[in-house]
Chains A and B, each alone.
Chain A
């Protein structure tokens, strides 16, 4: 009887691998096609004098690098704020503060992103760090909410079992709650990152560099090809981040969970 059960379990896990397998290959393939398409266009197509000032490999790489720097700085700050805050807000002694913190994070995300960035620029002046702060406020909610959800969905009986065996509160958090919450927390971080990478295009309005510059140039000069290259690059970058995030989630998922 136990053998058939094992066989069923193995089958089940094999099946779930089967479905995710396709997505794992299709998404990076699409991303590759997008990057390759842009590269081929920039290198091979007849590009006018005006556009070639932005549509060359050096500028594209430079802008992409700026975009990544901006996004990752904001994302690191998001993680550093959201995960500890999420942990604190799920402790029984801090439950009272939970609605307040979630409400604040909701406001951050619900506010129109461009408005938020401009507001910060008026307050802080324009530049890289202003853009980083704006993006951080905008992107903190998914990480915070998922950290809390991830910790809250841990079976309270497991927490009690841990305490009952003589683990300290910190020990239970470190060895039981956080490992079991990791998949959900990482999903939140991934969503934050993708959100930030997309929104970082707007940073160009407040003096932050990035791929948004292509979009703005394309619009102001009326050159659709510049606009489209910018849009494709931003989309491809967001998809790439999303894919890397999914791979990281799969690797960090604790063994023994389905």
Chain B
């Protein structure tokens, strides 16, 4: 994680207040917080608590009534608003792609405004589409309505990253997609952030999402009052007051599974065989390992599908293997919670772990997770008084 250098900058809010004319109470009431460079800070709170207003003041879509906002030490009020925004990535719910522009044009908008040369913009578009897991050849000329919700959201992220801004503002970006796609997009964001180390301000009302994504979480109440600003594990273990505990909700111990990631546990191995390999040998290895299935990998070591010992009896079993579109996989940055979820959906009691370029890394079994839960509960018992 630490080998990637931080490309983000510090953000500091000093007594920031937003008071709309005609309203008795301030929407954001004298908020001060420091968001360290390269961290993901999640603003979480009920709707109407002022979290979005707070975020939008950072790129001056909403002008603060009073207070200072420092970006890398400079007061943003002194900068031209349009210029400022070109250096702050902005992702909104439903991606907000312009429907009359192709994927390429959407992603290339900010670099275009910054007067990059055509070739440089074009190269950057390819690079970014690759980064968010969309094949440039296949997607650059498509229009938003030809994309699924998840794909649109990926393009939205690519667009926000286009000019390599140090800061990324994300306003409930994954609120409008189905739960499976949401989990996948969250995983991708975590992976991206490990590579890029931007300063990300992420707004959501979903506490589980906050726990999963945040290096720190700010739990906000009315007027954007910061009730607790801490690392997720700390908030789960020691909620500051009843408001926070209520927000954390039931099952705080189980939610710890959302903090721990697949890479944090020792991975199991599955019996693997490359396509075109020898079925008899694979069957023999599976039998000696006490397994009933082996997983077939393609030439780039991406898992294709599980084959049973019976399947492997056919001599040509490995000559041609179709990709199993429903094959359950998780990435190394997935949470243990997601892994458990996939495991319960798959029929094997085991889920494959994939890393970079979707290549096989290992497997996770139920007992791996059980062990992790045991360790977690013993550590929380120390800090939590007996009920």
Interface residues of A (CB under 8 A from B): 1-2, 5-6, 9, 157-158, 160-168, 171, 175-176, 179-180, 254-258
List, sorted by A's number, 27 A–B pairs whose CB atoms are closer than 8 Å.
Answer: A2-B148, A2-B151, A5-B148, A9-B145, A157-B92, A157-B93, A157-B96, A158-B96, A158-B99, A161-B92, A163-B61, A164-B59, A164-B90, A164-B92, A165-B85, A165-B110, A166-B83, A166-B110, A166-B113, A171-B113, A176-B98, A180-B99, A255-B143, A256-B99, A257-B99, A257-B145, A258-B145
- Interface membership of B100, Cβ < 8 A: yes
Alpha-carbon distance A176/B98, docked complex (angstroms) = 7
Residues of B within 8 A of A6 (CB): 146
Alpha-carbon distance A255/B106, docked complex (angstroms) = 13
Alpha-carbon distance A176/B106, docked complex (angstroms) = 11
Q: In the complex, are the beta carbons of B82 and A167 less than 8 A apart?
A: yes
Q: In the complex, are the beta carbons of B82 and A179 less than 8 A apart?
A: no
Alpha-carbon distance A1/B109, docked complex (angstroms) = 30
Q: In the complex, are the beta carbons of B92 and A165 less than 8 A apart?
A: no
Q: In the complex, are the beta carbons of B109 and A165 less than 8 A apart?
A: yes
Residues of A within 8 A of B143 (CB): 255-256
- B198 to chain A minimum Cβ distance, whole angstroms, is 16
Residues of B within 8 A of A5 (CB): 148
- Interface membership of B84, Cβ < 8 A: yes
- Interface membership of B86, Cβ < 8 A: yes
Residues of B within 8 A of A162 (CB): 98
Q: In the complex, are the beta carbons of B96 and A166 less than 8 A apart?
A: no
Residues of B within 8 A of A256 (CB): 99-102, 143-145
B: interface residue count bin? 20 to 34
Question: How many inter-chain residue pairs (CB < 8 Å) link A and B?
Answer: 73
Residues of B within 8 A of A2 (CB): 148, 151
- Interface membership of B276, Cβ < 8 A: no
Alpha-carbon distance A5/B99, docked complex (angstroms) = 18
- Interface membership of B94, Cβ < 8 A: yes
- B111 to chain A minimum Cβ distance, whole angstroms, is 11
Residues of B within 8 A of A176 (CB): 98
Which residues 5-60 in B have Cβ within 8 Å of A in the complex?
59
Alpha-carbon distance A158/B90, docked complex (angstroms) = 12
Residue from A1, A168, A257 in contact with B82 in the complex, judged by beta carbons closer than 8 Å: A168
> Which of B93, B99, B101, B113 counts the most A-chain CB atoms under 10 A from its CB?
B99
Alpha-carbon distance A161/B97, docked complex (angstroms) = 8
Q: In the complex, are the beta carbons of B61 and A164 less than 8 A apart?
A: yes
Give 6 A-B pairs besides A180-B99, A255-B143, A256-B101 with Cβ atoms closer than 8 angstroms: A164-B85, A164-B90, A165-B109, A165-B113, A176-B98, A258-B145
Alpha-carbon distance A177/B354, docked complex (angstroms) = 43
Chain B residue nearest in CB terms to A159: B96
Contact code string B159-197 (vs A, CB < 8 Å = 1, else 0): 110000000010000000000000000000000000000
Residues of B within 8 A of A254 (CB): 99-100
Residues of B within 8 A of A257 (CB): 99-100, 145
- B244 to chain A minimum Cβ distance, whole angstroms, is 30
| Given known contacts A167-B113, A168-B82, A160 and B146 CB-to-CB distance under 8 angstroms | no
Q: In the complex, are the beta carbons of A160 and B98 less than 8 A apart?
A: no
Q: In the complex, are the beta carbons of B85 and A166 less than 8 A apart?
A: yes
Which residues 201-219 in B have Cβ within 8 Å of A in the complex?
none
